[in-house]
Amino acid sequence: MRAALALAVLLLGCDVEPTASAPPRGMRVALHDPGANQTQTRSQPAGAHTWSGQSDDIVYVQMTAPVQATAQVTPAANLAGDLPDEILVFLDGAGELGDLGRRVDSSGEFAEAVLPSTFDVLIAPDGLLGRYPARLVTPVTFTPDGAGDVLDWDLPPLEFVAGTVETRSGVPVEGAIVTLYRSEEPRLPVGVTVVTESEGAFGFEVPEGRYDLVVSGPSDGSVPIPTVRTRNQALPLFQGVELLIEIPDVPVRPVRGQLVRGSGDPVAGRIRLDGVLRDLGAGGSPIPMGRYRVEFESESDGSWEIDLPIGDYTATAFPRYSSQAIGQTLSTGNKSFEVPFGVESVEDLNVVLPDATTVRIEALNPGGSPMVGARVVIRMTSAPRYTWSQITGAEGSVRGAWIGGLIPDVYDITLIPPPDEDGNPELARVQARVEILDEQVVTLQAERSDTFQGLVFGTGEEPLGDIRVELRHPDTGELHDVATTRIAGDFRGLFQGVLPR
């Protein structure tokens, strides 16, 4: 059958012209289904392939057929109150496959086409954001032989737990966030997160066991309390006794400031505050009470105000996403400050966002000439992790280049050469990791590349259209090209790939 497919492709006279003869080379292939065919196909790694370098050699990529995964999710019979509005099932393919999530239907049934593989399964009432705990089932293996089996994923019996959050002096805390973790798995959330109501009250349902409870304020600092963790707590308490979680009494002070440019002009942005809280010990000396972090948006004029506990802080300000035009882009600003005892407020706390570094990114063809119309994708590797996509210029000093401001950071930069007149790539992509601290020139030069034809097909050797094909270096995983298989007619399933020499 494969020979017939090859003959069909050659006789159809594909409108691309692969290189007549080139060095053979390997590649790593991954297939991505955009969603139109998800009852028949699944995004998946397709393994290693080799192109001989000959123009008449077609690279065949077969997509693995899915199997039907079916399970019955049975909620606990003794839930206190109403059942959750929705139950989600997440399948984690352990890094080899794309994660999959799906709601169960009104009868509690989960049914989905998945790749034959082993998964970690998480059954999550309320999608990990409610009062009901999740259940982790691992490992779960789906095979073609067991495709008709219906698995039973029952949720364990639950016990209601009521509690209160208050300060040590007895003041209830409203708006605090209570999150549960299993004591034996302290890094994995149970999926129960509740917010304290008036008088500091909260309630949730969990299976009997031992838990860590973390109490914190909202991420915007609107409830200025330190984070407190209660470890290895047996739940429920004896005979329905309510759980009392006490947090330290932390004095707070209003802090007011503004984000400004180096020139002193106000500018809007985002502020993150990292601090170490302090309290007065028995002898009157300050003692550390733990770490504190909040993040929020400034007003349009750059001003900001927040109540902060007593402590030592570092303010980090991020500029808003911008067009990256020279003179408009700002860098990250930092300022250390103290919220001390004995003051009513901290005023005029200005954080300066200096001008960003001016950078020139040059794109070159394999022979060294400027590459006009190339796309340059620039990704920060640190917060705020902005990503920009720019096009190299065509005239004057920016011919084959882009000039703009970048926040000092380490960047992943991808050069995507322009396609030919038919929209097909002629040169492989170039990727580089570059540390940008000062004004500098970054040069990315494409390698001489060759084109080849490939065909994606299913288990019945039927060509599959509208499948995105990623071609990567067989060892490093560096992305060389992204193609999409043809959808219609005799060219269905066909793609043109590009590999560097």
pTM as predicted: 0.82
Cα–Cα dist 284/289, whole Å: 14
489 neighbors 14 (Cβ within 8 angstroms): no
pLDDT of residue 58: 94
Condensed to tens digits (0 to 9), the pLDDT of residues 311-323 reads 999 999 999 887 6
Contacts of 3 (CB under 8 A, 6+ apart): none
**Angle, alpha carbons 400-402-405 (nearest 5°):** 165
Q: Give the pLDDT score at 432.
A: 96
Domain extents for the chain?
1-65+357-501, 67-154, 159-247, 254-353
Tokens of 496: 């043109």
At residue 329, the pLDDT reads 83
Fold equal for 1-65+357-501 and 159-247: yes
Cis amide prior to 254 (ω within 30 degrees): no
Rounded Cα distance between 432 and 441, Å, is 13
Neighbours of 124 (CB within 10 A): 23
Give CATH superfamily name and number for 254-353. Answer: Carboxypeptidase-like, regulatory domain (2.60.40.1120)
Tell me, what's the pLDDT at 74? 85
CA distance 332 to 357: 11
Beta strands in 263-302 (DSSP E): 269-280, 286-297
Return the closest-CA partner of residue 180 out of 197, 198, 161. Answer: 161
Q: CA 496, CA 319: separation in Å to the nearest integer?
A: 41
pLDDT value of position 32: 86
pLDDT in tens, 180-203: 998 988 777 788 889 999 999 999
- Assigned CATH topology for domain 67-154: Immunoglobulin-like (2.60.40)
Which stretches of the chain drop beneath a pLDDT of 70? Answer: 1-20, 35-41, 77-83, 94-99, 280-289, 323-327
The CATH number of 159-247 is which of 1.10.1240.10, 2.60.40.1120, 3.40.47.10, 1.10.540.10?
2.60.40.1120
Nearest to residue 436, comparing CAs of 405, 415, 414? 405
Sheet holding 401-406, edge to edge: 401-406, 357-364, 440-445
- Identify the pLDDT of residue 163: 95
1-65+357-501 topology per CATH: Immunoglobulin-like (2.60.40)
pLDDT at 9: 52
Residue-level pLDDT at 424 = 86
